[in-house]
Amino acid sequence: MITGKNFIGEKASAKGAKTYRTYDPKKNNETEWTFHEATKEEIDLALKKATTAFKAYKGIPGTEKAKFLRAIAEEIEALGDPLIQAYVTESGLPEGRAIGERGRTMGQLRAFADLLEEGSWIEATIDTAQPERKPLPKSDIRKMMEPLGPVAIFGASNFPFAFSTAGGDTASALAAGCPVIVKSHPMHAGTGELVSLAVIRAAKRTGMPDGVFSNLNSSGIEVGQQLVMHPQIKGVGFTGSIKGGMALYKLANERPEPIPVFAEMGSINPVVALPSALEEKGDHWAAQYAGSITLGAGQFCTNPGLILGIKGKPLDNFVAKLGQDIIQIAPSAMLHPNIHKGYEQGKKELSSQGETAIVASYDGDSPSNYGKQKVLTVSGTDFLKNSVLHREVFGPFSLVVQCKDERELENVLLHLDGQLTGTILGNAEELRQYGIIVDALKSRVGRIIFNGVPTGVEVCPSMQHGGPFPASTDSRFTSVGVSAIKRWVRPVSYQDWPQELLPEALKNNNPLNIMRLVNGTYTDKKI
C-alpha cells in the first residue's frame, strides 16, 4: 500500500505539512495517493543516519554487499503486480514497458552483485618496497578504490525503475559502499515508495546498517538543493534537464567543500546517413527511424533528434518516406502534463524558425497529454546559423539537416553540443571514405553506432552512457553498466602500512583472490 511517507533509513516518516499528489497522464487526473514533502529535520536525520551507517557499511565485505543487492532485486520482484500498476498509473507507459524495465533494473542490481563477488573492480595496485634502492630507498605503496561517503541520487522522470529509486545510480553507489539518499521524482513518488520498501526490506534481511538507504519526497526544488548543500553529502547522481542538472552542479561547486555531480542531461543523438544508406536502404532506414523517434513517446535520452545527410534525390526520398511512415504511428501518452507542455513548446519554438519546413506533423485527434510526432527539415547552412535549432525537443520529434556537401556536414558535426550517442548509416567502405565525418562525430559523442538506432541501451560492462558536455557533466564516466561504480569511489594509497592492518584487498596473501597490479604485472598470485 502506498502511504505517501518518506523513509528516513528504515523508519517511515511524514512530518511535513506540505503535501502533493502524483498524476495519471492517461486518465488526465491526479492519483489517489498523497505524499508528504520531506522537512529540513527529516533531511538532517537521513544524513545523520547515513553518516553513521557509512562507518559500518564501507567495511562490510563485497560478498555481503552483493547479497544485499540480490535481495533488493528479489524484493522488487516480490512486490508483484501492485508495483507494475503504480508504475503504469504514474507514468502513462504501457505494462509491457514496466515489466521490461523492472527486469532491466533487477539485472543491473545483479550485475553489480557479480562485480562485487569477483572483486577486482577495486583496482588493487601494489608496488613493494625496495629498501636497497640507491640513492634513496623506495617505500611500500599500495592503492585501492574507497567509497566517497553518503550520496544523493535524483530519480529520473523517464525511467521510473531503471534510473530511479533502485536504478543504476543507486545500485552502483550501494555497490561502491556509499549510503544512498534518494530524492524521489515527484512524477512517480508512489512507484518510488514501493521500490524503497523493497530496498529497506532487503537491507534488514541482509543485516545492513539502518541509514544505508533513505527516500525523500518532494515536489519542488528545495529538498534537492538542501541535500546537495548538506556537508555530509559527498557526491550526486542526476538524470534530467540541462537546467536542473546545471543548477545542482553549480550549487555543488559553490559549497565550502565542492563535491562531484554526475549529471546526465540533454542529447539529440545525431544520425549521419551516408550515400549508400540512402541510395540502397532508404526505405528500410525511414521505417526504422519512424519507430525509433516515436518509441516511448520519444522520451528517451537517446532519442534520435537530429538526422544529417547530403542533399540530393536519395535524401529527398528518405525524408518523404520517413514522413509517410511516422504519420502512421499512433501517438502515445507522455509522462506528465508538464512534460507534454514542454514538448509542445519546444516543437513550436523550432517550427517557428523561418528556415525550417515540415516533413510530417501528426494532426489527428488524440487524448490530452499524448505526444504528437513531428519531423522538420532545414538546410545545413541555416542550421549552422541558428543555435535554437540545436536544442533538444524532449518527445517524438526529429530535425533532418540537409547539407550541401561533405565539408558542410563535417562543419555541422563540429558545431554540435556534446551528445550521448552518434550513429552512422552506410557501409564499411564508406567508414574509411568518410573518415573525416566519422572523426567529427566521434569527437562529440560517448557511443558511436554503426547501422542501427540509438534507442535501446544495452546494460553491459562495455557500455558508455555519458558524453561530452552537456550530455553529461563528466564525459569520463558512464551511468549505465558496471563501470558506473567508478563515480562513487576515490583512490587511496597506503604507504609503508603494517601488513595486518591493510585492507584485505592489499594484503600480501591476497585473501580475496582478486586480480591485482603487482609491481607492474596483473596477477592473482600471493606476494
Binding site for ligand NAP (CB under 6 A): 154, 156-158, 183, 185-186, 218-221, 224-225, 239-241, 244, 247-248, 264-267, 301, 339, 342, 394
CB of 218 to ligand NAP, least distance (A): 5
285 within 8 A of 273, measured Cβ to Cβ = yes
**Which residue lies nearer to ligand NAP by CB, 211 or 346?**
346
Site of grid cell 561504480: 485
Choosing from 37, 90, 101, 301, which is the catalytic residue?
Answer: 301
- Which residues, other chains included, contact 436 with Cβ-Cβ below 8 Å and sequence gap of 6+? 406, 410
Q: How far is the CB of 257 from ligand NAP (least distance, A)?
A: 19
Distance CA 128, CA 122 (A): 18
Least distance (Å) between residue 186 CB and ligand NAP: 5
Question: Which parts of 295-416 fold into alpha helices (H)?
Answer: 313-327, 337-351, 380-385, 406-414
Closest CB 225 distance from ligand NAP, rounded Å: 5
Is residue 522 classed exposed, middle or buried when 0-12, 13-18 and 19+ CB atoms within 10 A define those classes?
Answer: exposed
Closest by CA to 310, choosing from 396, 413, 398, is 413
Minimum gap (Å) between residue 267 Cβ and ligand NAP = 6
**Closer to ligand NAP at the Cβ: 38 or 278?**
38
Q: How far is the CB of 139 from ligand NAP (least distance, A)?
A: 45
Q: At what angle do helices 222-229 and 40-57 cross, to 10 degrees?
A: 40
- Residue linked to cell 503504469: 88
Exposed/middle/buried for residue 520 (C-beta within 10 Å: 0-12, 13-18, 19+): exposed
Is 117 assigned a catalytic role? Answer: no
Hey, what's the cell of 527?
606476494
SS3 for 372? coil
Catalytic hit among 37, 42, 264, 430: 264
- Give the HSE-up count for residue 356: Cα atoms under 13 Å, Cβ half-sphere: 25
β-pairing, 521-523 with 516-518?
Answer: antiparallel
Closest to ligand NAP by CB, 186 vs 314, is 186
Q: Give the distance, in angstroms, between the CA of residue 392 and the centroid of all CA atoms in the same chain.
A: 17
Given a contact cutoff of 8 angstroms between Cβ atoms, the answer to whether 200 and 210 are in contact is no
Nearest to ligand NAP of 480, 489 (CB atom): 480
Identify which of residues 244 and 503 has a Cβ nearer to ligand NAP in the complex.
244
CB of 384 to ligand NAP, least distance (A): 24
Instruction: Name the residue nearer to ligand NAP (CB basis): 279 or 474.
Output: 474
Is 264 in the active site? yes
Neighbours of 160 (CB within 10 A): 32
User: Pairing mode, if any, of strands 151-154 and 374-379?
Assistant: unpaired
- CA 415/CA 313 separation, integer angstroms: 26
- In three-state secondary structure terms, 150 is coil
* Closest by Cα among 310, 222, 314, 306 to 271: 306
Cβ distance to ligand NAP smaller for residue 219 or 478: 219
Residue with Cβ nearer ligand NAP (210 or 264): 264
What letters, b where the CB count within 10 A reaches 16 and e where it falls short, cover 422-445? bbbbbbeebeebbeebbebbeebb
For residue 406, the minimal CB distance to ligand NAP (Å) is 30
Catalogue the active-site residues.
Answer: 264, 301
